[in-house]
Every structure is written in structure tokens, then in C-alpha cells.
Amino acid sequence: MSERSLTSQAGRTSPTPGWADPKPARVTFDEWQDLFERVPEELVEEYHYFPPNREAFSKYLFPPQTFAIYGMRHLRRLKYDNSLAALRMWGFVQNETERLFRARQLGRRVIATMGDLGAVPVIVNSFPDCIAFYPDCIWWTPFAMESRVLFDAAAELGIGDATCFSRAALGAFAKHSYFPDPDLVIASTGASCDDYSGVEQLVERFAPDMMWVEEPMRCDMGRMGPMGPMLVKEYERVVERMEKLTGHEITDDELRAGVRQANRVRKLVKRLRELAFREGAMASLEMMVVEFGNLHHYSDITEWPHVLEHLLATAESRAAADTPVVDKDALRVVWVTPPADPLLLTYVEDAGARVVGTEYVINQALEIIDEDKPPLEAIAESFMAASLIGTSKARAQSAIDQAREYRAEGVIISGIFGGSHCAMEGRLISDYVKAALDLPVLEFDVTSPSREIALQIGTRIDAFLEVLRSRR
Amino acid sequence: MKELLTPRERFGLLVIDEPQDRVPVFPLVTAHAARVARIPIRDYYTDGIAMARSQLAAQEFYGTDFISFFSEVGLVAEALGSRFSYPDDDLPLLAEPKWSELGELDDATADPMKDGRLRVYLDAISYAYEARADTVPILAYVPAPFTTAQQLVDQEAFLLGLLTEPERIHRLLEYATCSIIRFCRAIIGAGGLPILVDPLASGSVISAEHYREFALPCEAEVIRYLHRYDLDIVLHICGDTNPIIHIMPESGADLLSLDHVGLETAIAAAGDRCRIIGNFDTTAIMLSKPQEVADSVAAMVLAGKPCPRGFVAATGCEVPVETPPENVRAFVRAAKEAGANADWGARRRA
Ligand code: SF4
């Protein structure tokens, strides 16, 4: 029997028709190239962004090699889930810059949303032919490229190493080549991170049209509290501005459809988190990418849910067959603040741990929005769960709850060298966690982009995991 | 003056059909890089690290937009068994092709890690990639099947075979294609962007009919393989491409690198499907005075800039080894000046 017919036969029950995934494993860059060489042509042709568009340029099932050739050097050092669904996810996510430019070429409006990480895009994406994206996510690009180019560009505009890596977004605005110049920038500020507010202020000179949205602080008087109505008013301003920009008067039904669309993604991610944390059905690197997809669906609200469904089918079949991709018996850790250097996740998993909970400063994007309430009120209510608008204690509590739920053995807090907000919170969260749980906590700052983990951080991670091992 | 975009960012815009701050600049600096690095040419093509360091030095010295690895078109043929001599300070020379006439083929496939000097290229790519791939695209010339085949079999026998034994020629081309694809795969793994180079398929060597029948299908096959990876592929054919310029896009190439053909002709024939790279006369860059080079380059850029899919200011073929550095610098400076889109940032914001 030929390899192809074996594949087809297995494909009947496989998460990917026409393809049988190998035994779940995390594989190297080179191993993914070997796997990709075996992917049939029909599958490479199958997946397109902006469906139902089928233009040749919109294919995206490409391996890490493709993006490494275009400068993403760090991809060579990472380890990847070996499922086709994961390959699809990586191809889709890495392709986002091109996708945004193509969106503009196809006549769509491109709106940069900044700072709030998850809420405003629900409104923007409810407008026809409008695409929201977060320049904030350029945060990872210097690490993915192992490059200071964007930091240098930001430094020339007056913001240097004493500020969070999020300053890379400013460099990207200045260069006009990481995303098309947006039709509108909607920048959220207020009860937020001062580093990023500073970045947003400096972005204004590159924005043809910019509006500011005030984020309220969460107080202890219930979810909405007295500030909720203020946020609803802010979102009404966003709607007004979008209507002016597009000439389209949005209906309640359209906004409700936008909420349902966001919820569809959030529910898929919720289930994926469950399967990853409990069953080891997805590795932490892929899961970080998955979680951040809740922010703006990687600029394609139609295709991203399909990518997630594919991943979920893969994770479900792994859970059903009890074939995890990471050892279920590995040391269980909760991770606080997303690591700017994704290699840290590969490193920790290689060293024998797995991630069973996250507090990646995007709690608001993980919330399911209440579909029974008026849409703007419901979006505002979901945003009031935001990681950054409350106390550090609330972020710590989220880590503590997850640590309890998934029986974590330790907590890792990765800070940002030069970042004020996260650097300040790290120690506080660590103290709260230690007070609430008898768990070791490792706290460190990620330094500049590099091809490898700094020796000192590597040693500290090794020692930390050794402590966890000895406590078993 | 420091430029806003890196070569990598500029190339990224070109290949997604977005305007750039200026046209990318690409004098085809290959073995001439050995002169910049002041090493014997033989070291350049037998030692991957030396090759990489020379290219890195040349890219920095001239401020070009690409790093490109190449020494000669016999690379894959040598890995398959043709014999080359290595003069001390000159490029490799074909000493004896694998076969003197068209006959039975063996079942050899070149192993990029072991055979000939393929590994030299891979070492060079890896080294340069680690050094500078965040800011500069790393290109690697790969001899196309039709050109490789003429280094595997005595060239006269091969050209005669086009008329008398087409079946055998097709089999030989398949044989070459197989190893070339394998080499491409290794280049991709190392971080290089393969450029297909097919000088022996130019109108200076064969007719348009033979190009369509023999060379084009193999170019297309290699490019199909590379497109599986979504790579933007340059097809470089130096020499006279007037008879085939209208057919070349059928190879699937995304960018055509051209030599002896009028830019207006090339743009009219292929500019709506491919970006055009070209095509400064390499004798002129070696023998002219810097100011003459600059004036002609400026005229070339003005002719190339209107290309609908984009234009790269380049030489038509390799910069000759003994070209005075001040001429290459004049080329680069003039191309950057003439290729500038002064209102680029402002237009993109508008
Ligand atoms: S310091 Fe923390 S919260 Fe502030 S921009 Fe950086 S990562 Fe975001």
C-alpha cells in the first residue's frame, strides 16, 4: 500500500482529511521541514485567508522555513507541535503582515487598536470590510527576528531601553512596512500601563487619524462598578467614529453578530486551554499563540475560527486517545506575563515542565461576553475583567486560582527588562502567590533579543525546576 | 545617510506589491566580493566561511540590498560527477564533463551535505544568515537544470541532442532537476532564498522553441517546488533574452533578472506578471568612469521604475571580478538617488 493511500485511509478519522498526523511530539525546525515535504499538494492549496477568497497569494499552509527565510531567525530554535493543525496555525499567524497589506489592497479598512487588548476590535470588526489589528503584538517581532531594528527605530524617536519591549510598535509605525498605515488608530489609555501609554502618545505623529479611549479603573464594587457606564460611553464614541469613517450606520444586530463572532473564538480557546492544561494536548508555545488570537483574530475573523477548530479537533483526539504532546507527568507550572522571548517556553518544556495556567495580561480577551445584554454594555462588562486595570492582587488571584485548579507545582513570572508596569508587578504577584500557596515562585526579567536563553536565566530555570522535582 | 528601511523591509514590500522608499539596488556582486575582502578567489569558492565573510563585507562596503552567493554554474554538475579545476585566483573551470556524449544515466542524486562544493554554499548561507538575515535577504544562486545538463555532458553533444535525441535530453534534464531540487531544499533549511540561474538557456545559446520545449518546463518544475514554500523566486537569465522574454513568466518566476534586452521591451512583455531586475551592462560597469556609470544607471532606473510589478536596479550579469570599487559605489549611489520615492512616507500616510 502506498504512503498516500495509508494517509487517505487514516485521514477518514484524522482531524485533517487526507492526512494522518504522526504520533504527537514537539519537533525541531529541521524535523518540520521533513514533515512538510510529505504534506500533499492538495492540502497546501486548501487553506486560504479571507475566505471565500481563493487568490494564489492568500495560501498560508507554509512551514517555519518560509518565515525564517524572510528574517524570522528565532523560528530555527523553537520546537513545534507536529500536527498539521499546528502547522496551519503557524503559517496563518506568521502571514499576518502580508495579510494586512493585502486587506488594504482588497479595499478593506485597516484599523489599529492599541492598548486595551481585546475589547475595541469586537466593535471594529462588526463594521463591514473593517479589520482591526494590534500593533502591540509587534512586541514579539524583535525576538522572532533576533534583531534590534525596531528598538533602534523607536530609540531614534526618543524611547530607548528604559521602556518596555512594546516600544517596538513605535518603530513599526515609523517604518511603514510592518502593516499598512491604518485608516484610524484607536488608542486606549487611562488605568493602564504607563509604558504603553507613552508609546501610544509617540505614535500619534504617524497616525493620520487617531482617537483616544479612556479605560476606567476597576474598583471593588462589583464587575461594572461606577466606572462601567463611563466605558460604555467611550465605546459609543468608538461606534460614532467608525460610522463617520465608514459611512455605515451600524445596527444592533451587526454588533450582536460581532459579539457572537468574538465569543465563538473565546469558547474554542477556553476548551483548548482546558485540554492543554489538564491533558497536555497542546504545548505551551502553541497555546500562547492561541490565547493571543483572542485579541484580534490575527486580522482575519473569518478564517481564524477555522484554524482554532482544526487545533481543537486535534487536541480532542489526543485527549480521547490519551496521547498528549507534552508529558502529562511533567512538572506543572503557571506562567504569569507572556514571555517576550518564546524560546523560554521551549526551554522550560525541554527541561521537563509544562504550563497548566497563564496570566498573560489579557484576561479581558478570555472572558465570554454576555450575549443577552446590549452589546456595548456587554463588551464593557467583559473588559472590566482586564488584567491591567485592577490591582496586582487580582492578577495574582487569577494565577492562584489556576494553580489550585490544575495542581501547579510552581509559578514562573517573566518580566520585561526596562518595563515599568510588569517589572513593578512581578514582585507583588510573587508575594501574593507565596502567601496564598505553598509554592516556589521564579521571577526573572527577559533581556534583549538573542539567539539563545541567557545563561543566567537558563541556570535559574534549571535550578527552579530541580526544586520542584525535589518537592514531589 | 542612514536609510529608514532595511534591505529586508524594502524587499518585503516589493514582493507583496507595495511601493518602497526607493527601488532595491542589486549589482550582482558575486566573486567580486573576494576582491573586497582581499582573499584569493579560490578561497572564496572552496571555503564557505570565506565566501560568507566576503559577501558580508561587500554588502556593507557597497550598501547593496542583497547578499548573493554564487561562483559558477557548474556547482550541481560537479556534485554529480563532472570534474572542475580550481585556478588559484580565478573561478572554477569545467575540466571534464561527467559524460562526453548522451548515453545511459546512472541513478546518482547529489547529496548537498557531501558532494562537490554544495556544502561550501550551505556553510556560507548559514554563516551569513546568522550574521545578517534580520536586515538583509540572503540569496543563493542555483544553476537551473538546462544549464546544469550542459555541464554534465559535453556541450556540443548536448546541443546536437536537442535536435537529434530529444528524449535523451528530457531524461538528462529530469536527472539534473532531481538533484537541483534536493539542493534547493537544503538551501531553504539553511535560510537562503534560492535564485534560479539559467544562462545557457538564453537566446544567445538556443532558440525560443528549444527554450520552451526543454528549459522552461524544468525551470517551472523547480519553481513549483519552491512555491510550495511560498518563496518569491528570481529567474536569472543573462545574455540575450529578447526572443524569450514573453515566455519567461510561464516559468512561474516572481522576479525576472535580465541582461541584454531593452527595459521597455521587458516591461511591456512581462512587467504586469513579474518584477523586473536589471540590467546594467557589465562591461560598462567595469570599463567606464564612475560618473559615466552614474549617469547611465540613473537613466536605467528611470526606465525601469514604471514597471507595474516593481523594479530592482541591478547589473545584467555578475559584476566582473576586476571592476573598480568606485564604479560599483557609483552604481549604488546613483541607483539609490534615481530610485528614490521622495514622497513615500507621506504618500503612505495620506
Ligand atoms: S510593561 Fe507590561 S503591561 Fe506595560 S506594555 Fe510592557 S508588557 Fe505591557
A-chain residues within 8 Å CB-CB of B17?
Answer: 101, 105
Distance CA A223, CA A220 (A): 8
Give CA–CA dist A246/A269, Å, rounded.
31
- Specify the range with the lowest mean pLDDT, choosing from A120-124, A218-222, A234-238, A396-400: A218-222
- The closest residue, in CA terms, to atom 4 on ligand 1 is A193
Question: What mean pLDDT is predicted for residues B193-201?
Answer: 98
Is 70 exceeded by the pLDDT of residue B328?
Answer: yes
Percent over 90 (pLDDT), chain B: 96
Helix (H) / strand (E) containing A208: none
Alpha-carbon separation of residue A315 from A15, A84, A287 (angstroms): 9, 12, 11
pLDDT in tens, A121-143: 999 999 999 999 999 999 999 99
* Ligand 1 pocket member A164 (CB < 6 A): yes
Q: Tell me: the pLDDT tens digits for A232-284? A: 999 999 999 999 999 999 999 999 999 999 999 999 999 999 999 999 999 99
State the Cα–Cα distance between residues A68 and A70, nearest whole angstrom: 5
Q: Distance between terminal CA atoms of chain B?
A: 25
- Check residue B350 and give its pLDDT: 41
Answer yes or no: do A145 and B189 touch at CB < 8 A: no
- Give residue ranges of B with CB < 8 Å to any A CB: 4-6, 8-10, 12-13, 16-18, 129-130, 133-135, 137-138, 185, 188-189, 191-193, 228-231, 344-345, 348-350
Helix (H/G/I), strand (E/B), else coil: A128: coil
Rounded distance between C-alpha atoms, residue B40 and residue B250, angstroms: 40
The pLDDT, as a whole number, for residue A167 is: 96
Enumerate domains of chain A plus CATH numbers: 108-251 (3.40.50.11890), 329-359+391-472 (3.40.50.11900)
pLDDT band of A148, cuts 50, 70, 90: very high
Query: Chain A partners of B185 at a C-beta cutoff of 8 Å?
Result: 33, 37
Residue A193 Cβ contacting ligand 1 at under 6 Å: yes
Quick one: pLDDT band at residue A222, thresholds 50, 70, 90?
low
Q: In testing the pocket of ligand 1, which one of A116, A151, A166 has its CB within 8 Å of the most ligand atoms?
A: A166
Which of A199, A241, A196 shows the shortest CA–CA distance to A386? A196
Q: Is residue A422 lining ligand 1, measured as CB closer than 6 Å?
A: yes
pLDDT at position A371:
98
Give residue for cell 527552579.
Answer: A464
**DSSP 8-state secondary structure symbol assigned to residue A77:** T
Does ligand 1 lie within 6 Å of residue A419's CB atom?
yes
Q: Which of B66, B229, B343 to mutate to test the interface with A (most CBs of A within 10 A)?
A: B229
As given in the structure block, the three cell numbers for residue A383 are 473588559
Asked if A146 and A175 touch (Cβ cutoff 8 Å), the reply is: no
CA distance A358 to chain B (A): 30
Residues 6+ apart with CB under 8 A from A238: A120, A123, A124, A186, A211, A213
Strand A130-133 to A109-114 pairing: parallel
Which residue in B has a C-alpha nearest to residue A147's C-alpha? Answer: B134
C-alpha cell at A93: 499567524
Residues of B in contact with A65 (CB under 8 A): 188-189, 229
Q: Is the ipTM of this complex over 0.85?
A: yes
Question: Distance between CA B225 and CA B218 in Å, rounded?
Answer: 11
- The string of DSSP codes covering A351-402 is TTEEEEEEE-S-HHHHSPP-TTS-HHHHHHHHHTT-STTS-HHHHHHHHHHH
Q: How high is the pLDDT of residue A1?
A: 32
Report which DSSP code applies to A227: T
Q: Which residues pair with A444 in a beta bridge?
A: A414
Pick B134's closest partner by Cβ from A98, A105, A149. Answer: A149
Identify the bridge partners of residue A349 per DSSP, sorted by sequence position. none
Contact check, Cβ <8 Å, A33/B188: yes
* Mean pLDDT in residue range A404-426: 90
In contact, B73 and B199? CB cutoff 8 Å: yes
HEC sequence for chain B: CCCCCCHHHHHHHHHCCCCCCECCEEEECCCHHHHHHCCCHHHHHHCHHHHHHHHHHHHHHHCCCCEEECCCCCHHHHHHCCEEECCCCCCCEEEECCECCCCCCCCCCCCCCCCCCHHHHHHHHHHHHHHHCCCCCEEEEEECHHHHHHHHECHHHHHHHHHHCHHHHHHHHHHHHHHHHHHHHHHHHHCCEEEEECHHHCCCCCCHHHHHHHHHHHHHHHHHHHHCCCCCCEEEEEEECCCCCCCHHHHCCCEEEEEECCHHHHHHHHCCCCEEEEEECHHHHHHCCHHHHHHHHHHHHHHHCCCCCCEEEEEEEECCCCCCHHHHHHHHHHHHHHCECCCHHHHHHC
What's the pLDDT at A132?
Answer: 98
Q: Which of A117, A137, A189, A361 to mutate to test the pocket of ligand 1 (most atoms within 8 A of CB)?
A: A361
Set of cell numbers at residue A312: 481543537
Give the model confidence (pLDDT) of A40-77 as tens digits: 999 999 999 999 999 999 999 999 999 999 999 999 99
In contact, B235 and B257? CB cutoff 8 Å: yes
What is the per-residue pLDDT for A13?
60
On the question of a cis peptide bond just before residue A52, with omega within 30 degrees of 0, the verdict is yes
Q: Can you say how many angstroms the Cα of residue A453 is from the centroid of all Cα atoms in its chain? A: 21
With CB atoms and an 8 Å threshold, state whether B193 touches A44.
no
Dihedral sign, CA of B149, B150, B151, B156?
A: positive
CA of A422 to the centre of ligand 1 (A): 6
Task: Taking residues B121-138, report their average pLDDT.
Answer: 98
CA–CA separation, A407 vs A402, rounded Å?
A: 8
What average pLDDT does this structure show over A321-325? 97
C-alpha B13 to ligand 1 mean position (Å)? 29
| Whole-number Å distance between alpha carbons of A79 and A64 | 10
pLDDT at A9 over 50: no
Instruction: Indicate if the pLDDT at residue A202 is higher than 50.
Output: yes
User: φ and ψ at B67, to 5 degrees?
Assistant: -110, 130
Q: Which residues of A touch B (CB under 8 A)?
A: 30, 33, 36-37, 41, 44, 57, 59-60, 62-63, 65-66, 68-71, 73, 76, 97-98, 101-102, 105, 145-147, 149, 174-178, 180-181, 206, 208, 451
Cα gap A330→A213, rounded to integer Å: 43
Cα(A199) to centroid(ligand 1), Å: 11
Inter-chain touch A451–B192, beta carbons under 8 Å: no
- List beta partners, residue B256: B235, B276
Return the residue matching grid coordinates 541582461.
B259
Q: What is the pLDDT of residues A345-386, one digit of tens each?
A: 999 999 999 999 999 999 999 999 999 999 999 999 999 999
Q: Is A231 in the pocket of ligand 1 (CB under 6 A)?
A: no
A388 Cβ contact partners less than 8 Å away, ≥ 6 residues apart = A117, A191, A192, A193, A361, A421
pLDDT of residue A417: 86
Q: How far apart are CA B263 and CA B255, in angstroms?
A: 14
pLDDT digits (tens, 9 = 90+) for B52-91: 999 999 999 999 999 999 999 999 999 999 999 999 889 9
Query: For position A344, what pLDDT does the model report?
Result: 98
Cβ–Cβ < 8 Å for B179, B79: yes
Phi, psi values for residue A133, rounded to 5°: -145, 160
- What does the alpha-carbon distance between residue A125 and residue A210 come to, in Å, rounded to a whole number? 17
- What is the Å distance from ligand 1's center to A453 Cα? 21
Which residues of chain A neighbour B349 with C-beta distances below 8 Å? 176, 181, 206, 208
Q: Which of A282, A303, A285, A323 is nearest to A29 (CA)?
A: A285
Distance A421 CA to ligand 1 centre (A): 6
Q: Is the CB of A134 under 6 A from ligand 1?
A: no
Picking from A195, A232, A189, the residue whose alpha carbon sits closest to that of residue A210 is A189
In angstroms, the separation between the Cα of residue A451 and the nearest Cα of chain B is: 9
Q: How far apart are CA A119 and CA A22, in angstroms?
A: 38
Nearest by CB to B9, which of A57, A63, A175?
A175
Q: Which CATH number fits domain B7-341: 3.20.20.210, 3.20.20.70, 3.20.20.190, 3.40.50.1260?
A: 3.20.20.210
- What residues of B are in contact with residue A44 (Cβ under 8 Å)? 228
Q: Does the Cβ of A361 fall within 6 Å of ligand 1?
A: yes
Banded pLDDT at A12 (limits 50, 70, 90): very low
Give the three-class secondary structure for A328: coil
Alpha-carbon gap, residue B200 to B283, rounded angstroms: 19
* Distances B347 to A105, A323, B17, B19, B308 between C-alpha atoms, Å: 15, 54, 15, 10, 18
- Do A322 and A399 meet the contact criterion of CB atoms below 8 Å apart? no
A183 vs A450: CA distance, rounded Å: 34
- What are the residue boundaries of the structural domains of chain B, listed by start? 7-341
- Please check the confidence at residue A445 and state whether its pLDDT lies above 50: yes
Q: In angstroms, what is the span from residue A12 Cα to ligand 1's centroid?
A: 45
CA A439 / ligand 1 centre spacing (Å): 25
Closest CA to A424 of A398, A399, A445: A445
Residue A199 CA: nearest ligand 1 atom is 5
C-alpha span between A96 and A83 (Å, rounded): 21
pLDDT score of B1 more than 90: no
Please check the confidence at residue A4 and state whether its pLDDT lies above 50: no
Side by side, which strands form the sheet with A353-359? A353-359, A331-336, A410-416, A441-446
Look at residue A221 in the predicted model and tell me its pLDDT: 60
- Residue A6 has what pLDDT? 36
Q: How far is CA A204 from CA A109, A171, A294, in A?
A: 19, 13, 25
Q: Is the distance from CB of A261 to CB of A282 less than 8 angstroms?
A: no
Phi/psi of residue A332, each to 5°?
-95, 125
C-beta separation of A432 from A400 below 8 A: yes
